[in-house]
Structure 1
Amino acid sequence: MPDYRRFRVPGGTYFFTVNLLERRLDLLVRHIDLLREAVRITKQERPFHIDAWAVLPDHMHCVWTLPTGDDDFSNRWKAIKIRFVQKIPSTERRSMVRVNKGERGIWQRRFWEHAIRDERDYANHIDYVHVNPLKHCYVTRVKDWPYSSFHRYVREGVLPVDWGGDYKFDADTDFGERP
């Protein structure tokens, strides 16, 4: 196995993708209040700024900025994941490896992170977060997905409510991701 090292920037801004182990489940939106509570408590204990966030049924994308001098996003994610699964009934399938390690079978062990490099990179990732429910065809307008920081951007006047336009899926020509 390669020696994977995360790129860390103290006080940096990062884009994340975090997935459920079973990508066909809808636990994240079904238990959105538990996820929000896990994030809220973790933010109180180990502050970070949420620049953007979109929660989909089986994964989420977000952009965070960490406090000056702090680069520990891994333990924040660990805390969020643990708090969330502690509130979910243990009904999921688990591999023998997970059973032997005493692990739940809710989350993929790893997550994807990308250190934001400049303003353009930042804007591109914020847009990606907000358009993702549309990309996965959960909605035809960005504004219709309820689990997104897009609504905060509209309230604050950063984006217009019709940002992203309308999207009509065409099975003959569109090869985008499907739920």
Structure 2
Amino acid sequence: MKRHSRRSIRLKGYDYSAPGAYFVTVCTQNRECLLGEIVEGEMVLNVTGKVVEKCWLEIPSHFPHVKLDAFCIMPNHIHGILIIIESVGAKKFLPLQHGTSKTIGSIVRGFKIGVTKWVRQHSPGQKIWQRNYYEHIIRDEIDYNRIYEYTQNNPLKWELDSLHPANVGAKNLSPKMENK
């Protein structure tokens, strides 16, 4: 069986475990609205959406070097800002870490696995997540403010969102923060 090869969107040579702020978007399988619905400009989570929220909020307990910032669960995706913080302590004297990797990829993978386990128990056969995820390294305060505002206002602009089911094929489907 031949596998499709995808071009990586990752920044070549960048250390995705480096301290900093990262904006991530994780989409549901086939961009199905599995997490709830927008009612009068506000996201109303269904049971699966509440599990997504719980697993997102638990990221720091699994990855203590991560702080959560703004996030928004939408009907078919989640946007969030993850901040990797510098580890405190004399690294040279600590034993080798044999636990989880500290990259953005491992953090997103862990989050997706947590939700997937719950979905498999409650809806056998249902696939929850699309393969991979979108990520953007937040480079400065202007970039952060633009992304923060986009994340907070996403439910109000759902009808214009490139991930809205009615807009599929209408424009570039990457979850970039267009000036809407």
- Fold similarity call, TM over 0.5: yes
Cα distance in structure 1, aligned partners of 2:30 and 2:6: 24
Given that 2:53 and 2:73 are in contact with CA atoms closer than 8 Å, whether structure 1 keeps it comes out as no
Show CA shifts across 1:37-73 (max 9, x none): 3224332120211121010111011111112269611
Cα distance in structure 1, aligned partners of 2:146 and 2:77: 19
Given that 2:112 and 2:129 are in contact with CA atoms closer than 8 Å, whether structure 1 keeps it comes out as yes
Question: In the TM superposition, what are the counterparts of 1:28-107 in structure 2 within 5 Å?
Answer: 29-30=45-46, 31-47=48-64, 48-68=66-86, 72-88=103-119, 89-92=122-125, 105-107=127-129
Cα distance in structure 2, aligned partners of 1:135 and 1:16: 18
Say whether residues 1:6 and 2:39 are aligned partners.
no
Alpha-carbon distance, 1:113 to partner: 0.4
| TM-score, length of structure 2 as denominator length | 0.63
Say whether residues 1:20 and 2:24 are aligned partners.
no
Given that 1:12 and 1:71 are in contact with CA atoms closer than 8 Å, whether structure 2 keeps it comes out as no
Q: Which has the higher contact order (CA 8 A, sep 6+)?
A: 2
Show CA shifts across 1:93-124 (max 9, x none): 5xxxxxxxxxxx21011100000111100100
Cα distance in structure 1, aligned partners of 2:80 and 2:59: 15
Given that 2:27 and 2:76 are in contact with CA atoms closer than 8 Å, whether structure 1 keeps it comes out as yes
Equivalent pairs, count? 130
**Aligned partner of 1:27: which letter?**
L
Given that 2:70 and 2:80 are in contact with CA atoms closer than 8 Å, whether structure 1 keeps it comes out as yes
Cα distance in structure 2, aligned partners of 1:121 and 1:86: 34
Alpha-carbon distance, 1:130 to partner: 0.7
CA root-mean-square deviation: 2.3
| TM-score, length of structure 1 as denominator length | 0.63
Cα distance in structure 2, aligned partners of 1:51 and 1:40: 10
Give identity over the alignment, percent.
Answer: 27
Distance 1:127 1:109, change over 3 A: same
More strand by share: 2
Structure 1 residues not aligned, in runs of 5+ = 94-104, 138-175
Given that 1:11 and 1:71 are in contact with CA atoms closer than 8 Å, whether structure 2 keeps it comes out as no
Where 2:30 maps in the other structure, the secondary structure is: coil
**Aligned partner of 2:156: which letter?**
L
Cα distance in structure 1, aligned partners of 2:7 and 2:73: 30
